Amino acid sequence: MEKLSEWTTRIALVLILVVVTLPILLGYAWLLISTFSLRTFGLMPVNARGELGGFTLRNWSFLKDPLIWQVTINTLVFALGITVGVVFLSALAGYALSRMSFPGRRFTLTLTLLLHAFPSITLLLAIYFVLRWISAVPIIGGLLGYNTLGGVTLVSTAMQLPLGIWLMKGFFDNVPWDMERAALIDGCSRLRAWWAIILPQIRPGIFALAIFSFIQGWGYYSFLIPYSFMIDQTRSTISTYLNNMISTTSPVNYGQVAAVGLFQLIPVLLFFLLAQKSLLRIFSGGTKGAA
């Protein structure tokens, strides 16, 4: 009897979970179904006459469009650039904050924490001016200025940096310093100790931060910043390309929109499944951005 009531509560709890999760489940179900359908009425794939059926691969024909590959490569360069930038720079800064004593260390740490909570998105307008100034610098301007992939990558890297530094400092803090001390007393330089002795010991942390940065770069950062600071369609990312598709007033081919959406989602899902455990750790370290 006791056992039975335990079971009914469990089932009731799962039911509540299913109900509140329903919009997410339905959303992804719709995405998957309409990708392979001529049209959909709700979740039902239909053919031209509005009857059940209409299976098709036509929605994936966008893969033959050279623009999508250009845009995919842009997004990849953008996300990888952010990943390399965030991991490398925060590994450097996090090490200094964890292991070195210098004047202003306290201040730097407090500032890092403050920036970590600070909503950088409010600075978008001012960043527009900074990018225009960078554009005016010869040579560098063409690479990292306004309306360049380098420029938006740089801005996004900066925005994710406080969190990265903070996490990296935490990883370094957990490494015992005996080996490093021995190396330093033997006259090894800090840079060498950092590269050869410490970094290999925090490989799992680096891996987690890298995947997190890539997912953020591929998804979250790849919309608003490129959308605001890049004009050319050939330089845009999948997110801005997709936004163009859904915000045009002419009739939208829903199936194709869904297919592009799923196309963009695939790498995220793969990484998410692969690294779910270590990602959870990062998310609880605090997430910036969208609510």
Rounded to a whole number of angstroms, the minimum distance from the CB of residue 52 to another protein is 13
Q: Can you read off the two tokens belonging to residue 265?
A: 């989602």
Half-sphere exposure of 152 (CA within 13 A, CB side): 26
Looking at 53, 142, 150, 261, which residue binds another protein (CB under 8 A)?
A: 261
Q: Can you read off the two tokens belonging to residue 57?
A: 């691969």
Closest CA to 175 of 210, 156, 201: 201
**How many residues interact with another protein (rule CB under 8 A)?**
111
Stretch touching another protein by CB under 8 A, among 53-61, 63-71, 201-209, 260-268: 260-268
Distances (CA, A) of 256 to 23, 112, 118, 168, 198: 21, 43, 37, 41, 48
Q: Does 51 bind another protein (CB under 8 A)?
A: no
Looking at 13, 67, 137, 270, which residue binds another protein (CB under 8 A)?
A: 13
Site for another protein in 137-176 (CB under 8 A): 154-155, 157-159, 161-162, 165
Stretch touching another protein by CB under 8 A, among 23-31, 55-63, 66-74, 195-203: 23-31
Rg (the chain; Cα; Å):
24
Q: Does 230 bind another protein (CB under 8 A)?
A: no
Beta carbons of 165 and 97 less than 8 angstroms apart? yes
Q: Does 103 bind another protein (CB under 8 A)?
A: yes
Looking at 63, 67, 73, 117, which residue binds another protein (CB under 8 A)?
A: 117
Q: Does 280 bind another protein (CB under 8 A)?
A: yes
Distances (CA, A) of 38 to 20, 29, 51: 30, 16, 11
Looking at 38, 80, 268, 278, which residue binds another protein (CB under 8 A)?
A: 268
Looking at 114, 137, 179, 196, which residue binds another protein (CB under 8 A)?
A: 114
Stretch touching another protein by CB under 8 A, among 59-67, 186-194, 199-207: 186-194
Site for another protein in 59-78 (CB under 8 A): none
**Residue type (1 letter), 179:** M
In the complex with another protein, which residue's Cβ is closer, 200 or 247?
247
Stretch touching another protein by CB under 8 A, among 56-64, 66-74, 200-208, 238-246: 238-246
Stretch touching another protein by CB under 8 A, among 40-48, 51-59, 60-68, 200-208: 40-48
In the complex with another protein, which residue's Cβ is closer, 73 or 111?
111
Looking at 7, 128, 195, 207, which residue binds another protein (CB under 8 A)?
A: 128
Rounded to a whole number of angstroms, the minimum distance from the CB of residue 73 to another protein is 16
Helix/strand/coil percent split, the chain, to 5: 75, 5, 20
Q: What's the rounded Cα separation, in Å, for the pair 169 and 220?
A: 24
3-state secondary structure of 287: coil
Rounded to a whole number of angstroms, the minimum distance from the CB of residue 288 to another protein is 8
Closest CA to 218 of 107, 74, 40: 74
Distances (CA, A) of 169 to 87, 112, 145, 285: 12, 11, 30, 12
Closest CA to 219 of 75, 84, 90: 75
The size of the chain, in residues, is 291
Beta carbons of 31 and 262 less than 8 angstroms apart? yes
Rounded to a whole number of angstroms, the minimum distance from the CB of residue 142 to another protein is 17
